[in-house]
Structures are given as C-alpha cells and as structure tokens.
Amino acid sequence: MALWMGGASTPWAQQAAPGSGSPQVVAPMTAPEPEPVLPPAVAAALRPTRLPASALGIYVQEVGSNRPLLSLNADKSMSPASVMKLVTTYSALELLGPSFTWKTGIYETGGRRGDVLDGDLVIRGAGDPKLTQEDLSVALRAVRARGIREIRGNIVLDHSVFDAAGYDAAKFDGDPLRAYNAGPDGLLVNFKALAITFAPDETSATVTVSAEPRLAGLPIRNSLVLVKGPCADLKGPALKTRIDPTGISVSGTYALTCGVKSLWLHPYELTAAQYTGAVVRQLWADAGGTLTGEVRDGLLPATGRLVYEIESESLAETIRDINKYSNNVMARELFLGVGHELLRLPGSPDRSYRAIRTWLMEKKIGGEELVMENGSGLSRIERIAPQTLGRMLVAAFRSPVMPEFMSSMPLVAYDGTMQRRLRSKDVAGQAHIKTGTLNDVRAIAGYVLAASGKRYAVVFLINSPVAGGAQAVQDALLQWVYSEG
C-alpha cells in the first residue's frame, strides 16, 4: 500500500497501525490488514464501514504544489465509475477546444420542379451528443420554408461519422430498456430515449398512454387496467412495456394513486435508424411535407447540396450536462467524437481510447494503466489510478480551459449529483466534485477551495462489495481538506 502525506510533523501523520511491533503475538494464517494512516475525522468515518484499506484509493494535491498532501494506494488501477467522465470531458476541451460545435447537415440531391424534390433529402449526422427533436423540427420547417414540400425520393439518414457496430445495450446490467443503456450513434436524436406517460381517469376507469417523441408508424397498444391500492414501481412487474418495430405495447395494472407519471425508456428493439427514422417521418409530416419513398440509412453523395445546418451548443456548454448530471449517453457520444475529430476517421471506442491515452502520456500525467471502454464510466472494465486522475486535475487547473472544466462539475450542496450532500458543512459551496456510483464503486474527484484560500485537487475511489456505505468517508475527506488544507 503506497502512503504519503505532507506535513509529517502533524500528530495524525505519525500514528502507527494498532498492535504493530508486539513480539508476543503470533500472526494468524491471514493477518488483519493494518488500519491506514488517515486524518482522524476520515479514519473515524471509515471504521464502521468494514472497508479494507486495499479498497481505498486517495490522492490530494494543492494545485500549486508538485507533491501530494495525501496519497493512499494512489498508483493502483481502479474502477472510477462515472468519474471517468472527467477524463473524457477534459481531453475533449483540450483537443477540440471549448468553442467546438457539431454541425448536422441537411442536403438535397436530384433536381427541383417547383416545390417537388425529384431526389433524396439527406440528413448527415455529426455526432452531436445533444441533438433533439426540437432541433430537427426547426430544421425541417426551414427546409419547407426554402421551397420543398414533396420529396419524390427518400429521406436518407447518414450515421457514418461513427462506427458503433456491435453495441450491446444489455451488456452492462442486463436491462437494455434503461435509458442510460442507449448507445452512441452518428445521428443520435433525443438520446434515443422515449418517455411513456400514463394518465389515469377515475371516471372512465381507464389509463391514457402517450409517447414522446411521437414515432410515425408505431401505434400504441394499451391494455392497462386501472386498479386501486398503492402506487407500484413503474419499472416493476405490475406494468409491462415493449417497444419494437410493430409498435408500443403496454399491459398490466396501473394504480389510480400514481397520478400522472412518465417512464423514460430506451427502445432497444428499434435500431437507431428505425427510431430516428420514425421521429423524422413524423416531424416532416408535422411540417406539412409529404414523402413518396421511405426513411432509410445511407450515405451523403458528393453531389448533395446543403439546404440547412443545425449547429449545436458549444462543447463548454455540452460538458456541463455530462458532468453535473452524469449523462452516460452524451459521454459515450463525446468519447467517440474525440477520436473522429482528431483522426478524421469513423469514431470508434478503440480509436478514441488510444488518442486519449496518448494525450495523457504526452502531457506526462501518466495513464499507462488507463482502460477506457466507452468514456462514461458505466463499464465493468474501465480503470484508472487515483494518482493519474489527481495529476490530470492539477494539470487541468493550470490549463486555459480550467474555467470551463471546473464549472462543469457539480457544486457541492448546490446542484447536480452533489446537490443534497454536505449542506450543513463548511465545505458547502466551496468544492466542485464529480461523483461516480456502481454497485461496488463509490468515487469522487474534483476541486476543493480550502478555508486557507488554497485550492486542492481531490480524488477518492472506493472499490469494494461494501462500497455502498462509504459516502460519509468521502464527505469527511472533503470537509477535512476544506478545514485543514
């Protein structure tokens, strides 16, 4: 276990592990793990958790210093959960620039006869992580305003900026319907999510079911039975939902006491082309357009003429959603985008991983141990060392993109995933901290502005089957850094 702490003259830095150096005690076959040397408040919070020292990875460094203040297992390769998003977003800021935007283009092919297009309308995706149906609606209405009413060919969807073949939505946790399990796509719309809304009516004893966005060609088949009693979990066995190319089927029971509720789902049985195609077909009809052909996948031909361009918000704005609210789908999309933009080849996980790892090592931050599968941290195999994360945070603070990067993280006790933590503590409002959670992982990383006026990069990763009870330990470290840093 690697352990180093600045200020070795402080009392807590000189504590020895209990029971060490006693010649009368015969060591058992499996000796108990020594208690790690930690600040008293952190050690006190750790004792009831049953967490072994080997499960902890800590790195704390003042951003103006060249040495850590506190380090425990800092070179150990660990799962960071969603804290990995910091690597994805900081690398994107440095490699692409904070003002980078994505441009989704709408092109026409063939010729025009009045308001009739004798050809295809092609929508070429750019890998925008936050392209919405509202963006597409404005774009398609602009196409109508520019003189196209009827498309005699097809609407072609070009996803080719990414090579996302083989994505398995069930791989992570076996629940592909969860909205966070949607995969990246070159023409991702609405995070490929579907909101199913249930509205009970006691008078008619029925439940109205609606879907947003509306998907052309996918009818809703509703056989729900309205019942009395407590409101059950919408993801539980009482309510069954299936979304496939034939439509949306909802069955089971729905309690009147639930009131109006919505369930966000990932329609995994629809391909990205089927989902986006259904959205586009509906929006084109809403705009007053007609289509003779079909909506299908394809490539933009060299003869395509630009009709309209959807420009995204800036990268600096985009990463706020990714980090403050831990949006996994956007993180996957951005991860592939980094590789695509740097190499000008179809974005793939391997290309992006190699580009980011090379970038880290060229900056002499470290990263030999880095493993990235999708850049979101929602993975069983992604790994990084606390020391690499900590050094990256120090480098980021010294970078021109520091303001954009730090402000993208949750402000402790105020917003994002840290909104309800440490509200009554002095550190409230004094730290920007990204969180990460899996069944066996609890992670935090970010910056603390101490009472002394110094700012510290802080990383605390916990990998253990009993990690679920570790929040108080991490909160104690943040408070200690604020008070004693």
25-79 tens-digit pLDDT? 444 455 555 666 899 999 999 999 999 999 999 999 999 999 999 999 999 999 9
Mean pLDDT value of segment 298-323: 97
For the cut 80, the answer to whether the pLDDT of residue 312 exceeds it is yes
Helix, strand, coil percentages, rounded to 5, for the chain: 30, 25, 45
Q: How much is the pLDDT for 11? A: 31
Bridge pairing between strands 111-113 and 116-118 = antiparallel
Burial of 106 (0-12, 13-18, 19+ CB in 10 A): buried
What does the angle CA 270 – CA 372 – CA 192 come to, to the nearest 5 degrees? 20
Q: How much is the pLDDT for 30? A: 52
Q: How much is the pLDDT for 298? A: 96
For the cut 80, the answer to whether the pLDDT of residue 13 exceeds it is no
How does the average pLDDT of the chain come out, rounded?
A: 92
Cα(320)–Cα(314) distance, integer angstroms: 10
Q: How much is the pLDDT for 200? A: 97
Query: What six digits make up the tokens of 279?
Result: 């959205």
Number of residues written out for the chain: 485
Run of H or E including 221: strand 220-227
Cα(326)–Cα(435) distance, integer angstroms: 8
- Name the residue with higher pLDDT: 252 or 165: 252
Contact yes or no for 455/479 (Cβ under 8 A): no
Residues ≥6 apart with Cβ < 8 Å to 412: 418, 421, 422, 427, 428, 429, 430, 431, 432, 433, 478
Comparing C-alpha atoms, which of 270, 272, 244 is closest to residue 131?
Answer: 272
Cα(395)–Cα(389) distance, integer angstroms: 10
Query: What six digits make up the tokens of 106?
Result: 């709408």
Residues ≥6 apart with Cβ < 8 Å to 310: 103, 104, 105, 106, 128, 131, 135, 136, 138, 139
**pTM for this model (two decimals):** 0.90
- Name the band, by pLDDT with cuts 50, 70 and 90, for residue 93: very high
Cis peptide leading into residue 98 (ω within 30°): no
Could you give all domains of the chain from N- to C-terminal order, each with its CATH number?
Answer: 36-99+315-484 (3.40.710.10), 103-166+271-311 (3.50.80.20), 194-265 (no CATH)
Cα(265)–Cα(297) distance, integer angstroms: 23
Which 3 state secondary structure label does DSSP give 137? helix
Listed in order, strand segments (DSSP E) in 41-100 are 56-62, 70-72
Query: What six digits make up the tokens of 151?
Result: 């498309």
Contact yes or no for 211/194 (Cβ under 8 A): yes
Bridge pairing between strands 295-297 and 155-158 = parallel
Find the helix packing angle between 85-96 and 315-324, rounded to 10°. 170
- How many helical (H) and strand (E) elements, i.e. helices and strands, does the chain have? 10, 21
Condensed to tens digits (0 to 9), the pLDDT of residues 342-391 reads 999 999 999 999 999 999 999 999 999 999 999 999 999 999 999 999 99
Q: How much is the pLDDT for 222? A: 97
- Name the residue with higher pLDDT: 272 or 340: 340
Cα(9)–Cα(419) distance, integer angstroms: 36
308 alpha carbon, distance to own chain's centre: 29
Query: What six digits make up the tokens of 60?
Result: 């704390």
Q: How much is the pLDDT for 477? A: 97
Q: b/e map of 343-353 (b: 16 or more CB within 10 Å)?
A: eeebbbbebbb
Place of tokens 């704390």: 60
Contact yes or no for 410/108 (Cβ under 8 A): no
Run of H or E including 352: helix 349-362
Side chain identity at residue 301, one-letter code: P
Q: Partners of 326 in the beta sheet?
A: none
Cα(299)–Cα(160) distance, integer angstroms: 7
- Name the residue with higher pLDDT: 43 or 165: 43
Query: What six digits make up the tokens of 401?
Result: 């993109």
Rounded to whole angstroms, what are the CA distances from 40 to 162, 358, 479?
A: 50, 39, 12
